[in-house]
Each structure stands twice: as C-alpha cells, then as structure tokens.
Structure 1
Amino acid sequence: MATDETTAVTGSAVGASIQKFFDEYGLGFVMVASYFGSGSVFIASSAGVRYGYALLWAAAGAVLFGFMAQDMSARLGIFGEPLMVFARRKLGRAGATAIALLLTVGCVAWCLELTAAVGKGIEVLSGGAVGWQPLALVVGGAAIVTGILGYDAIERVMTLMMFGLLAAYVVVAGASGPEVADVATGFVPSVPDAGALTLVAAIIGTTALWPNFFLESILVRQKGWSDESAVGTMRRDLGMGYVVGGLTTIAIVIATAAVLRPAGVTELDTFITPGRALAEVLGGWALVLFLVGALAAAFNSIVPIMWTPAYMIPQALGYDVKADDRQFKLLYAGLVAVGSLSPLVHAVFGLSVVDMIILFPAYNGVVGLPLTALLLFWAVNDRETMGEHRNGLGINAVNVSLVILSVFLAVSSAGDVFGAILSGSF
C-alpha cells in the first residue's frame, strides 16, 4: 500500500512539474517545430556535404536571427496586436484580405510539399510497399486530426517532438566520430565561395519563417503574456526553443560533414539521400533514425504553418478567432485537405517530390518573406501600435537586415522559381 501511495505521489509531482513548465513555456518549441521541416533537414545536410564544418557559424547565427525576429513578433502581440490585425487597421479590410489570401497560397504550397515529403519518406522506410501518393493523403488526414486537438495538446506534442529530434540527430552526429578541433573551426565565420553565401542565406531564411511572424503575435495571448512582466518569460521560452532547434541543425551538419563528405558525396538529390548514404557507413540504424527524424520534422511543420491562414483570414475580415472555435477548425481542416493534394500537383504540373521540397519553400521566400518582413518592420516601429515599446536602434538593425535579405532573395530568384514551377522541372 505504501509503495502505491509513493508511486502516486511521485506521479503527481511529475505531472505538476510538467504542468508548471507548460504554464510558462512551450510556445517557442511550436515556433521552432514550424520552421524545422524537410527543407531545413535538406539545407543543413547540403551545408555539411558541400562545405564540411565551415558553415556551422551560419547555423548558430540563424538561431540568433530567428530568435530576434520572433522576439519582435511576440512584443507586437504583447504590447500591440496580432500582425494581421495591424494590417487590417492600416490597410483596410480589402487590403488585409488580399494579403491574407496571397500568403495563404504560400501556406498551402508548403503543406503540399510537406505531405509529399512525409509520404515519400514512409515509402522509402516501407521498402516501396505503398506509393507516396496515397500516403500523402493519409498524412494530410493525420494533420487535420492533430491540428484540431487544441493549442495545449499541440504545444506538448511539438515540444516532445523537438527534444526527440535533437536526441536522434545528436546520436547520429556522435556516431559519425567528428574531430572536435575541426568542428570548433566551423564556428569561425568564413565563406568558402559564392555558393556558400547562397546556403548561408537559405539557412537564415528557413529559420526566420514568415508564418511564425503572424503566429507568435497571436499565440502570446494564449500563454497569458500581455504586459511588460511577461517579456522575460517570453524570451526564455524562445531561447530554449531556438537553442534546441539550432543544436539539431548543427548535429545534422556535423553528421553529414563527418561521414558523407569524406565518402565523396558532394551533392544531395533530396532530404532522404543523407540517410541512405549514412546507412552505407554507419549501418541501417542510421537510415532509420535520420529518416524518421526528417519525417517527424516535416509532419511537425504542417500544423503550425496551416494554423497561420486559419487565423489570418478571419482576422483580415475583422473576426477574432481562437483555436477552439468551430470556424477556425473548419478553415484549418479545409486548407490542409487542399494541401494534401500533392499527388494531383505531381500529375498536373509534373513536379516530383524533390521539386516540391525545393520550389514551394522557395516560392514562400520569394513572395511571403519579403512581404511579411516589411509588414513586421512597419508594425514594430509604429508609434500608435507599440508606443514606448517600439524597436530600438539595435533591434531595427536586425529587422532591416531581414528585410534586405528577403527582398534580395526575392528579386534574384523570382524568375527561376516561377519558371521552374510552371515548367514542371527544376
């Protein structure tokens, strides 16, 4: 009897500790789960394969960049209003709705890519027993069920998944046997060639994910963060989330740099390729662990990314919605259902899974990121909205860097991205 009572007390104490943690923290892990998808795995793997440890500094810098961008979004939600509510107030219902619909196209494109990526990964793990097309539809259905569970449940799932991803990739990185001294040199900024600069931009671009600018400004109120006293907690929350995300990215770079580059692998066809190559050196367990991690990361991204338009569209129209509202759930489910039609996109446009993994995030970089970066810059510097909590000079320097980077990437790559999508080839 005493043993049962002790077990009950211990379980109660653990439950209370978990509840206390999520009463204050967890939103940062939702934001990191949003950006850490198949594209992030592919980009980090490409950095390790092509440049060894040389771009580890960019992965660390991207964490700081993403943290500061999210800090601006969070402060906007705490001291002002959600970003799309700001857009509606400044641009009117018609202007805000046009922006919301344009950005929704980008979110659906991301969902198409992510359902295809998860479906393809499961096909590989199953040895081709089932094609990726029907699996993509199943993944979309699972995302619908998961996404309507409510914020608190999603927060716990995303936090657990991010710690799981970190553990999986750290195990693979540790088994790869990297030289510590060589790894350390990678944190000294260097740009081996022009191609490395493009990868640096990609690492930063995928970490500073534009749907998060809207989502964080909305969900801070879900956490009860509504005044100056919440800023410290918010920043600790973001710090924990982005440290976990950054370490996971660094682990992927280290694993691919330590194993694949010495083995002569210099280019990757898809996010699945590193797992297959690692298996040849480390054994089949590395393929399973790497690929399961990549699939979990891709699935993780679907829910928060598709939450964004389910909030944005009603806000642009002048309605305040919460995750538990029927209107929100129906809109979310409908948009994810459309985003599950990656097999149809494959049939009509001739885009392969690899094409979608590369091109649809690129579309968002061309359209969504510059538009949202400009809107966020405007909002956090607007006296009427932020009052005395407007951006300072230092934070504005980061914000301006984000705007310049996003506009540069859009201008330099728009033609290639749209041309590849329409032609059905990359």
Structure 2
Amino acid sequence: MSTETRLSGDVVTDFATKYGLAFVMVASYFGSGSVFIASQAGVMHGYTLLWAAVGAALLGFMAQDMSARLGIHGTSLMIFVREKLGRPLALTIALFLSIGCIAWTLGLVAAVGAGVSFLTGGAVAWQPIAVVATLGAIGVGLFNYNKVENLMIAMMLALLVVYVAVALPSGANPGDVALGFVPTTASMGALVMAAGLLGTTALWPNFFLESILVEEKGWTKESDVIDARRDLAMGYAVGGLATIAILIVAAAVLRPMGFEQLDSFLTPGEALVDVFGTWAMVLFVGGVTAAAFNSIIPIMWAPAYIIPQAAGYDVDQSDRLFKMLFAGLTGVGILSPVVSATLDLSVVDMVILFPMYNGIFALPIATILLFWAVNDRGTMGEYRNGKKLNAVNALLVLLAVVLAALSIGDFIELITTGGF
C-alpha cells in the first residue's frame, strides 16, 4: 500500500472516529422517504417548498443540538421522560412512538423490494424481496455501532454527489429557484407536503438516539458540545443540500415533462434519464434502494432503546433485550406486502405517507418532550436552555404542532382513499 493511500485512509478513519454520529442521524432520515417526498414536492408544487426543505434541515439541526446537549449534560430523553412521568405513562409513549418506526420500516422494505425487483429486470416481484430485505436489515442492525456509522458516512456523501451533479445541469431558472426559498401564499396550499418534509428531516427517533449515542463518541462534557455541533452542521448540510437538489430536479425536469405526481417507484429516475441517459435510472434505483435499506437500521434502533428505558432498563446494543426488540420489531417489516394490499397503497404511497404519519402524530410529542428536558433545571443544571436558545428551539415545537394540526385532515383522507 502506498504512503498516499495509507494517509488517505488514516484521514477517513480519524474523521469517523471524531465525528460521524450526525451522518447516522441524517442517513436515517435520508432514505427513500426523503427522496420521494422531495420529488413529490417538486412535481406537485414546483420550487415553492424549497423554504420548507431548508427549514426542515435547520430545525432538524436544532433538535439534534438539544438532544446532544441533553445526553452530554443530563441523561437520555426517554430516561428523562420515565423519571418525570413514571413508568406506565413513559412506556405508553414509547410504545405509541414505536408504531411510527414500524410504519417507516414497512415503507422502507417495500422500497428496497421495488428497487431490487427493477434492478433484476422484474425477475422477482417486490413483495418477496421486501421479506428478504427485512431479514437483511436485522442482520446488519446487530453489527457494532462503528461499522454502521462508517456505512452511513459513505452512503450520504455518495448521494450528495449524485443529486447535486444532476441538479446543476437540470435547466432550473435561478430566479424561480431563489423565490422558492421564501414562503408565500402559494405554498400555504401544500402544508401536508411541508409536514412530510419536516417529518422526514426533523426525525423524532433521532431526538432519542442522539441523547443516547453521544456516549459512543466520548462526548461527555461541556467542551464536547462544539464537536457535536460541528458534526451536526456537516451532517445536516449534506442532507439538506441533497434534499434541495432532488426537489429542484423534480421541479425543473419532471414537472415540465407533464408529471403532476409520482406515478410509480421509477418516476423520479426519469429526471436522471433526461439529463444523463438511460444508465442513470440504474444509478437512481440503486441509490434509493441503498438509502432505504440503511434508513431501517437507525430508525429501528430507537424503539429497541426507548421501550426498555421507559420500563426501567438501561440497555446497549450488546444486550440480549435490545437485540430481541430490534429483531422482533424490525421483523414486522415482512408484513409490508399485506399492508400494501389491505390499504391499497403503492410502494410510493407508503414511502411518502408513513413519514408523514410520523411528522403529524409522533414529531409534536417528541419535540415537546425534548424542549421540556433541555429546560429542566434538575436535569440540565446550569446548562439548561437560556432565553436565546429557547427562542430558537421553540420554533421547532411551534412548527411541528401547527403543521400537524393543519395537515391531519388531508393525511387521513390520503391514507383512507388509496394514497395520492
């Protein structure tokens, strides 16, 4: 091995050792749900929701900052909830929130199934592949934390390169793009989609995971907060730019082609084909499939941590209880074909609607609990939120609650009438 190659490898290793937690958090939200929600937003509403993509990334950063500080100075979020509300209510909250994780997994394994089915030329339908994907996710999720973190870093950087490379030559009008970063009355008719962007970016399972996993990075004191924030800034910059690029491509390429919604799992890939040629469809499907698979793991880590914590047991990834819960709850993903058939939802419907469910029902609960925790004197001591931090952090709580209230009716109509 050459000295140059060895030094390059050392740089990557050092980076992953010091940082990288945010890439796990961002990769958990940047699965097929984010790709399709951003694409759907661009197709249906043009550039008008670019402000929501930016706002979602900023709010995700703020929420993760609260969670990191809680873990460094206080305790994990679910342990805080148990100590304040008692075991029965904490366990009820943990179980309710875990339903959202399972819903996410149902959509994600369906996306993996659809992607692999396409890549194999349709030799096998997506349904049996979804079952195999579920079992594969269980196996990978039981690896040690560092291996999963390195996988997430590589995947996020690769996706950013792909989608920015497509967005640049897409022919988007700079003036129209610039206007999309400013909320207008035109975007008020797209609140359910804005809620979807928020729900898939400010990912509530990460609020719990960050407060737990800061210990994995050795972040245990006030001086470590700056490293946590640098980590979050890098992770959310990558995720936010990729989301913006996807939305711009959909608005600039798919919308002028006459698409009014995503007709199939392959529709967003049409934009890549138009710019790069037919080989790009394979690139797109492969990327979405990998992103969906990777998202399953950190999302399903959350209930495996918070259910035992709510019941009074402190677990880590080596504990049998953690492994049993992760495997058992993730295993519900094998029912994805049944859910699809029962609710008459396509794969695209599931990967868009199930993150919306989390944005509407789970995110407001998690944000309120997190905001409470970082303001609790007994937990945070001198490091609890000050007035400036509260003014900023309160935006997440307010936006989560308002968007949920305004979009719940549209969501119920979509989920009960066969999707989009």
- Residue aligning to 1:297: 291
CA distance in 1, matches of 2:361, 2:166: 35
What is the TM-score when the length of structure 2 is the normalising length? 0.93
Contact conserved, 2:192 with 2:403, CA < 8 A, in 1? Answer: no
Match for residue 221 of structure 1 among 193, 215, 219: 215
Contact conserved, 1:106 with 1:364, CA < 8 A, in 2? Answer: yes
Match for residue 158 of structure 2 among 164, 167, 171: 164
- Residue aligning to 1:235: 229
CA distance in 2, matches of 1:49, 1:186: 13
Q: State the shift of 1:91 in Å.
A: 1.2
CA distance in 2, matches of 1:363, 1:106: 7
CA distance in 2, matches of 1:127, 1:158: 27
1:142 aligns with 2:142: no
Contact conserved, 1:55 with 1:190, CA < 8 A, in 2? Answer: no
Q: Gaps (5+ residues) in structure 1?
A: none
Contact conserved, 2:141 with 2:297, CA < 8 A, in 1? Answer: yes
- Residue aligning to 2:260: 266
Contact conserved, 1:172 with 1:286, CA < 8 A, in 2? Answer: no
Structure-2 change in CA distance of 1:39 and 1:190 (3 Å): same
CA distance in 1, matches of 2:218, 2:50: 36
Contact conserved, 1:26 with 1:156, CA < 8 A, in 2? Answer: yes
Bigger drift between 268-277 and 324-333 goes to 268-277
AA matched with 1:353: V
Residues 162-202 of structure 1: per-residue CA shift (max 9 Å, x gap) = 00111111222234243445444443444424324443333
Q: How does 1:42-191 map to 2 (within 5 A)?
A: 42-191=36-185
Q: State the shift of 1:64 in Å.
A: 1.4
Bigger drift between 12-21 and 80-89 goes to 12-21
- State percent identity of aligned pairs: 61
Structure-2 change in CA distance of 1:186 and 1:355 (3 Å): closer
1:317 aligns with 2:298: no
Q: State the shift of 1:102 in Å.
A: 1.2
Structure-2 change in CA distance of 1:411 and 1:258 (3 Å): closer
AA matched with 2:228: M
* Secondary structure in structure 2 of the residue aligned to 1:273: coil
Structure-2 change in CA distance of 1:412 and 1:423 (3 Å): same
- Residue aligning to 2:273: 279
Q: State the shift of 1:307 in Å.
A: 0.4
* Secondary structure in structure 2 of the residue aligned to 1:220: helix
What is the TM-score when the length of structure 1 is the normalising length? 0.91
- Residue aligning to 1:386: 380
AA matched with 1:80: G
AA matched with 2:371: F
AA matched with 1:404: L
Bigger drift between 361-370 and 262-271 goes to 262-271
Structure-2 change in CA distance of 1:420 and 1:60 (3 Å): closer
* Secondary structure in structure 2 of the residue aligned to 1:21: helix
Contact conserved, 2:134 with 2:331, CA < 8 A, in 1? Answer: yes
CA distance in 1, matches of 2:126, 2:201: 27
Contact conserved, 1:38 with 1:298, CA < 8 A, in 2? Answer: yes
CA distance in 1, matches of 2:352, 2:200: 12
CA distance in 2, matches of 1:199, 1:416: 10
Match for residue 288 of structure 1 among 282, 304, 313: 282
Contact conserved, 1:68 with 1:395, CA < 8 A, in 2? Answer: no
AA matched with 1:265: F
Match for residue 203 of structure 2 among 182, 206, 209: 209
Residues 1-26 of structure 1: per-residue CA shift (max 9 Å, x gap) = xxx6xx2x444433332221122100
Structure-2 change in CA distance of 1:76 and 1:21 (3 Å): same
- Residue aligning to 1:326: 320
* Secondary structure in structure 1 of the residue aligned to 2:168: helix
Contact conserved, 1:110 with 1:361, CA < 8 A, in 2? Answer: yes
AA matched with 1:114: L
Q: State the shift of 1:396 in Å.
A: 1.9
Q: Gaps (5+ residues) in structure 2?
A: none
Bigger drift between 182-191 and 281-290 goes to 182-191
